[in-house]
Amino acid sequence: MKQIAIIGGGITGLTAAYYLQEQIKEQQLPYEIKLIEASDQLGGKIKTVQKNGYTIERGPDSFLIRKASAAKLAKEVGLADALVKNGSGGSYILVNDKLHKMPSGSFMGIPTEVRPFLFSSLFSWKGKFRAAFDFILPKGEPVSDQSLGLFFRRRFGDELVENLVEPLLSGIYAGDIDDLSLMATFPNFYQLEQKHRSLVKGLNVMMPKKKQAKGVKKPSMFYSLKGGLQALVEAIEVRLNSDAVMKGVSVDQIERMDGRYHLSLDDESVYEADAVVIASPYFAAQNMLRQYTFMDAFNDMRATSVANVVLAFDQAAIKQDIDGTGFVVSRNSSYRITACTWTHKKWPETAAPEGKALLRCYLGKPGDEDVVNLSDEELEEIVLNDLNKTMHITDKPEFSVITRWKNAMPQYSVGHKERIHSVMEQMKEHTPGVFLAGGSYQGIGIPDCIDQGEAAVTKVLEYLKS
């Protein structure tokens, strides 16, 4: 019987364990799996709290519909009827302390239609004029990578980037747009420029506009689940053989001995495996394989910290309500929060009981990461102060749920793709049969992590059959 260890019970490790178990059953393979998770709970960053009829996400709240693997997995584990789509109200950008409607026809902040941008209050005439250079500028020189900031500033100028692109993209990665790698985050934009020169024109070719009938709502972009995303974690967990999961045990080191791997666990025991999927963050992986100098490539990687503060209110306490699902904050505003979601409007079926409002705010950005070390009272006060600049809230929250995510957002800085490729190539040579997968490596979104978990299954099976 061959042993397969999967280290880390976040969505990546869970996916790998689930699909491996399916393959083992289907092909009647003489393999056993063991999912080893350091904490007492599976799910990693996916954590849902149910309180007083509210569904509160401490970590991710949804996944992109466009990337199919997450919905596919949810359906396979019996959650087809639990999938819910986001309410598609408008969203806003806070620039210079004022809320502006997101111009329609923008994709990740890049215009696909001229009119809404021309009439948007988000930009000055000078900024609009500069953004139009995209139509005439030549394509950039081919390069292996560049920062998102450099790329978009060159095409559209600083104003469009700072007032729209940056708050949207930095929000996803909790990073600095001038450090983040274009090729590891949105390589399609680079390819569009190389092919069509103008990004606006390229996007129009790539995503031809479907005429939207008047009064018909914009299609939803995200799925969540009734009961929150933890429902996915629980549905996978109940389908795994109970002896396949070890919780509350962490892997300290992985050593290769006689063609197998010895995993030293923190309970002083050793687990022997023939193949290993490391589905933990990069710093944990680096520590497990610390005897290999090629893992030093991760010395150049960092992970940033954010906190989220969820506040529950009576809807009547919010005097100045906003018709939309939330806003992101540009760096040129005096706010300390970086985004706020009106969760009860984004997820009207699931987030809050009738007549209640659930607001979820993020804190922590480059230069203000220490904010996560403040006390709960301080964080709540900062959030309420910021919110009261745009919404008039008359009552104290019914309750709050505060989550600190320290070093939880891996940064894909310029050169990330090559760095990961080089580590994986070295692993093929020095640690064959050990594979990296997860949010630190080839995509942070839940569907990206699921894709990596599935890819790891293929790699493990190919390796063990070879």
Which residues contribute to the site for ligand FAD (CB under 6 A)?
7-13, 36-39, 44-46, 59-63, 250-251, 279-281, 284, 306, 308, 405, 408-409, 438-439, 444-446, 449
Q: Least distance from C-beta 37 to ligand FAD, angstroms?
A: 5
Q: Least distance from C-beta 140 to ligand FAD, angstroms?
A: 29
Token readout for 74 is 């949810």
Is residue 359 within 8 A of residue 387, CB to CB? The reply is yes
**Residues β-bridged to residue 272:** 262
Q: Least distance from C-beta 39 to ligand FAD, angstroms?
A: 5
d(CA 461, CA 261): 16
Q: Least distance from C-beta 263 to ligand FAD, angstroms?
A: 9
Q: Least distance from C-beta 309 to ligand FAD, angstroms?
A: 12
d(CA 247, CA 309): 28
How remote is the C-alpha of 27 from its chain's centroid? Answer: 33
Q: Smaller CB distance to ligand FAD: residue 200 or 251?
A: 251
H helical segments located in 157-250 = 158-160, 166-173, 182-185, 187-196, 199-206, 230-239
Q: Smaller CB distance to ligand FAD: residue 170 or 308?
A: 308
Q: Smaller CB distance to ligand FAD: residue 265 or 317?
A: 265
Q: Least distance from C-beta 280 to ligand FAD, angstroms?
A: 4
Q: Does an H or E element contain 409, and which?
A: strand 399-410
Q: Smaller CB distance to ligand FAD: residue 45 or 155?
A: 45
Exposure class string for 182-206: b at 16+ Cβ within 10 A, else e? bbbbbeebbebbeebbbbbebbbee
Amino acid at 436: L
| CA-to-CA separations, 94 to 100, 315, 320, in angstroms, rounded | 6, 22, 16
**Residues β-bridged to residue 49:** 56
Q: Smaller CB distance to ligand FAD: residue 318 or 382?
A: 382
Q: Smaller CB distance to ligand FAD: residue 251 or 318?
A: 251
- Residue 129 backbone phi and psi in degrees, to 5: -60, -45
Q: Least distance from C-beta 243 to ligand FAD, angstroms?
A: 17
Instruction: Name the nearest CA neighbour of 99 among 176, 167, 178, 153.
Output: 167
Angle at 180 between CA 177 and CA 185, to 5 degrees: 110
Q: Least distance from C-beta 382 to ligand FAD, angstroms?
A: 17
Q: Smaller CB distance to ligand FAD: residue 198 or 442?
A: 442
d(CA 125, CA 123): 7
Q: Smaller CB distance to ligand FAD: residue 306 or 423?
A: 306
